[in-house]
Structure 1
Amino acid sequence: MSILGNCPYCKGKVISKKINVKGKNIKLYFCENAKKEYDDSEQYVFTHDSTCRFRVYSNTFLRYNKRSFSEYEMKKLLQEQQVVVRLHGKKGGSEYFKYVIPHEEYGVTILWEEEVEEKAC
């Protein structure tokens, strides 16, 4: 585990941790105050003492053919409140760049309407 920066919402430490999900090794970036556990019905839920919900899985952009949201990208996002990511169209064809910003409910979100300036890449 390593500390990447401060949470954009509660200023707690954002930690990177390697996990295995459905047989795939990925990284989970999460605020130290966003604690989860399995409840009685085997649902993975936030604990009663969680005070934050900031969590991002490194494969969050897989549907846009981006294999991994890297630790470097997460650090930059935490420092600058935005980062430019490279995404790909279906079947890996076209390539395009978009801004990603923190999102309180989903961890991160893509700004689809914003055009990325070339020097920002």
Structure 2
Amino acid sequence: MSILGKCPYCNGAVISKKFITNAKEIKLYSCENAKKEYDESEQYVFTSDSTCTFRVYSNAFLRWNKRSFSENEMRRLLSEGQTKVRLHGRKGSKEYYKYVVPNEEYGVTILWDEEVESA
């Protein structure tokens, strides 16, 4: 577990944790104040003492053929308010860059309308 920066919403520490799901290791970047647990109906919900909702899984961009959102990309997002990511088309052939910014509901969101210089 390592601290990556300050939460964009509450200034808590954003930490990185590794875990395994579906036989794949992924990372969860989450504010120390965004705590979740399983409730009695087996739903994964924020705890009663949770005061923030910032959480991003490293596989958030799999739909765009980006295998992992790295710790360096998360550090840049937290320090600069945005980061540039490299995405790929459906067949993996076309490569393009987009900015990613924090999003309260989804953790992060891609700015599709912004043009980005490659590399």
> Does TM, normalized by the shorter one, top 0.5?
yes
CA distance in 1, matches of 2:3, 2:22: 25
Per the alignment, residue 116 of structure 1 pairs with 116
Q: Deviations over 1:70-120 (max 9, x none)?
A: 0000000000000000000002010000000000110000000000135xx
Report the structure, 1 or 2, having the larger helix content: 1
The CA deviation string for residues 29-50 of structure 1, in whole angstroms up to 9 with x for no partner, is: 0000000000001111000111
Find the residue that maps to 1:52 and give its secondary structure: coil
Instruction: Provide the rounded CA distance (Å) in 2 between the counterparts of 1:31 and 1:19.
Output: 16
Residues 1:24 and 2:24 are matched in the alignment: yes
Matches within 5 A, 1:1-121: 1-118=1-118, 121=119
TM-score by length of 2: 0.98
Q: Unpaired runs of 5+ in structure 1? A: none
Pairwise CA RMSD: 0.7
- Give the Cα separation in 2 of the matches to 1:43 and 1:37: 8
* TM-score, scaled relative to structure 1: 0.96
